[in-house]
Amino acid sequence: MNEWRSRMTDILDGHVHMGPIEQERAMLAAADACGIARTGLVAIQDPWSGEGLPEALYMKWRYPERFYVFAGLNHATRLSQGKVRTESLADQARRFAAIGCDGMKMIEGKPTSRQRMDVPVTDPYFADYWACVEDLGLPIVWHVNDPEEFWDPALTPKWAADRNWGYGPADVQKETLYAEVDEVLARHPNLKITFAHFYFLSADLPRAARFLEAHPNVHLDLAPGVEMLYNISRHPDAGRDFFLRHRDRITLGTDLFSSLTPEQAVARTGITFRWLETQDEFRVPGFADYLLGPPEDGIIRGLSLPDEVLSRIYGKTLMSLAGATPARLDVAGAGALCDDIARIATELSGKEQDTQAAKVARAFKSS
Maximum Cα–Cα distance for the chain, whole Å? 56
Residue closer to Zn ion, measured from CB, 12 or 358: 12
Angle between helices 53-62 and 331-349 (to 10 degrees): 160
Adjacent-strand bridge partners of 194? 141, 219
Q: Which residue is nearest to Zn ion (CB)?
A: 255
Site for Zn ion in 128-147 (CB under 5 A): none
Contact positions with Zn ion (CB under 5 A) in 255-284: 255
How many residues sit in the footprint of Zn ion (CB under 5 A)?
1
Is residue 46 a contact residue for Zn ion (CB under 5 A)? no
C-beta of residue 246 within 8 angstroms of C-beta of residue 212: yes
Nearer Cβ to Zn ion, position 180 or 255?
Answer: 255
Closest CA to 353 of 117, 49, 18: 49
Compare residues 51 and 255 and give the one whose CB is closer to Zn ion. 255
Give the shortest CB-46-to-Zn ion separation in angstroms. Answer: 14
Nearest-approach distance from CB 313 to Zn ion, in angstroms = 17
**Closest approach of Cβ 15 to Zn ion, in Å?**
5
Contact positions with Zn ion (CB under 5 A) in 5-24: none
| Of 88 and 115, CB closest to Zn ion | 115
Q: How many angstroms separate the CA atoms of 246 and 248, rounded? A: 5
Hey, is 237 helix, strand or coil? helix
Name the pairing type of β-strands 67-71 and 36-43. Answer: parallel
Selected range binding Zn ion among 98-106, 107-115, 253-261, 262-270, rule: CB under 5 A: 253-261
Helices 53-62 and 24-34: angle between axes, nearest 10 degrees: 70
Look up residue 325 and give its DSSP letter. S
Q: What is the nearest approach in angstroms of Zn ion to the Cβ of residue 83?
A: 30
Nearer to Zn ion, 86 or 113 (CB): 113
Instruction: Note whether 196 and 143 are within 8 A (CB).
Output: yes
Residues 180-219, mask of contacts with Zn ion (x by CB under 5 A) = ----------------------------------------
Degrees to nearest 5, angle at CA 30 with 27 and 36: 100
The residue ranges that bind Zn ion (CB under 5 A) are 255
